[in-house]
Amino acid sequence: MYDVIIIGSGVAGSIAAYKLAEAGKKVLILEKETLPRYKTCGGGVISKVSELLPYKIDPVVECKLYKSDIYDHANDLHFIIERDIPIINMTMRSSLDHFMLTKAREVGTEIKEENEVIDINEKNGFVEVITRNQSYETKFVIAADGATGITTRKLGIQIKVKKIPAIEHEVVIEKDQFEKLNKTARFDFGLVPNGYAWVFPKKVHLSIGLLTMSKPGINLHQYFKKYLEILGITKLLSEEKHGYIIPFHSGQKNFSYGRILLAGDAAGLADPVTAEGISYAITSGIYAANSFINGKENAETVCKLYEFEIKKILTELKYARYLAFLIYKSPLLRTFVFKMYGEKLSNLMTDVITGKVKYSELLKNPLNYLKLFKLTHFKKNPR
């Protein structure tokens, strides 16, 4: 009997396993893919993640970006943000996830790859987890099986999550064109309806992505071609195309079901402004592990502790949704926001990303709204 079985070896699963195994628990990760596996993701790890992890991820960081360029094509705006600490660390998720998994293994986690979980049954005092290969018994399960995992389906939960489409192309381009794009994290608004496009440079290639907050029906691949033109990319030396979904919280209240805790994308915890999901996946993985450790294996206590902790994330996501409304709700509203406050907003978002400030601190206090929307245009000129 395992103490905890974790379904999925993404960042949420790996960090939960690390914390549990480090505390002496008997932990098994079940992963359906062959490892290391590709994950459709920009691989941008925002700098506040370094405060969450018990180890450094430097060995898998392909480049550290101190600069970000934000374009609004609809209004011909360009904001440049620079910091003296890295704003985003660029990784490939295959390497990052494998690195984190290796850390979990080093402290005693057992890992079984090519082991797809196909069913979960809660029994009296334990859970039976069935894979295509065999079945296992465990006291608790952490479901970290991502946005399309099976846990919620098997539990019969209609999880309240808004799933939006996103694509990521891994491209190799000519050296001179690459060198124009590899020093900054670039975000482009006003190209994809209700969304944005980005360029995340890696050591020798670019991860170029697009997403839309609109309902399915928008052909992101069509916008990708247009985006290449905007970027001045004339030739792709190689290209790998990937598409997936990003899940945003949309009113879900419960994240624990008996002896099963949902973490990361399985719980729908991506940021509705930036679509960043790694930091919330890691945070929820840590919360899940701590809840098990501190709950002393009592199912009710473990769930209570987890729900209490997850509320901290939900509070942040609630305030993030306010900002997302201003940016994505309508082109008219975004024009107003970007024209009047684009520079300030870009700086504040960078402060959120670097962990200097939280959404809740930024927006909870009405005085901070005034700070954000300071009517600089109506200020008297200094004499």
Ligand X SMILES: Cc1cc2nc3c(=O)[nH]c(=O)nc-3n(C[C@H](O)[C@H](O)[C@H](O)COP(=O)(O)OP(=O)(O)OC[C@H]3O[C@@H](n4cnc5c(N)ncnc54)[C@H](O)[C@@H]3O)c2cc1C
CB of 291 to ligand X, least distance (A): 17
**Whole-angstrom distance, CA of residue 48 vs CA of residue 86:** 10
- What does the alpha-carbon distance between residue 367 and residue 153 come to, in Å, rounded to a whole number? 43
| Cβ at position 217, least distance to ligand X in Å | 18
Residues 6+ apart with CB under 8 A from 378: none
In this complex, which beta carbon is closest to ligand X, that of residue 61 or of residue 144?
A: 144
The minimum distance between CB 22 and ligand X, in angstroms, equals 18
Cβ 134 to ligand X shortest distance, Å: 13
The Cα 60–Cα 148 span in angstroms is 26
266/345 with CB nearer ligand X? 266
3-state helix, strand, coil in the chain (%, to 5): 40, 30, 35
Residue whose CB is less far from ligand X, 139 or 163:
163
Q: Pick between residue 36 and residue 342 the one whose CB is nearest to ligand X.
A: 36
Which residue lies nearer to ligand X by CB, 13 or 342?
A: 13
Nearest distance, CB of residue 369 and ligand X, angstroms: 26
> What count of residues does the chain have?
383
Nearer to ligand X, 86 or 209 (CB): 209
* Residue number with CB closer to ligand X (190 or 264): 264
| DSSP state at residue 90 | E
Report the residue number, 39 or 103, with the smaller CB distance to ligand X: 39
Residue 146 or 201: the one with the smaller Cβ distance to ligand X is 146
- Which tokens hold the place of 52? 């969450």
CB of 89 to ligand X, least distance (A): 10
* Whole-angstrom distance, CA of residue 336 vs CA of residue 350: 20
Token duo for residue 320: 């993030």
Instruction: State which amino acid sits at residue 344.
Output: K
Q: How far apart are CA 118 and CA 131, in angstroms?
A: 5
Q: What are phi and psi of 81, to 5 degrees?
A: -115, 130
For ligand X, the closer of residues 286 and 341 by Cβ is 286
Q: Which residue is nearest to ligand X (CB)?
A: 277
Structure tokens given for 310? 């997850």
Binding residues for ligand X, rule: CB under 6 A, are: 7-13, 30-33, 37, 39-44, 116-117, 144-146, 149-150, 166, 168, 209, 244, 246, 264-265, 270, 275-278, 281
Provide the minimum distance between the beta carbon of 347 and ligand X in the complex, in angstroms, as a whole number.
20
Give the span between the Cα atoms of 224 and 196, in whole angstroms: 11
Q: Residue 71 and residue 188: Cα distance in Å, rounded?
A: 5
- Match 């960042």 to its residue by tokens: 11
Taking the complex as a whole, how short is the minimal distance between the CB of residue 122 and ligand X, in angstroms? 17
CB 142 within 8 A of CB 285: yes
Residue 95 CA to chain centroid, in angstroms? 16
Closest approach of Cβ 104 to ligand X, in Å?
12
Closest separation in Å from C-beta 41 to ligand X: 4
CB-CB neighbours of 203 under 10 Å: 10
DSSP 12-81: HHHHHHHHHHHTT--EEEE-SSPSS----S--EEETTHHHH-SS--GGG--EEE-EEEEEETTTTEEEEE
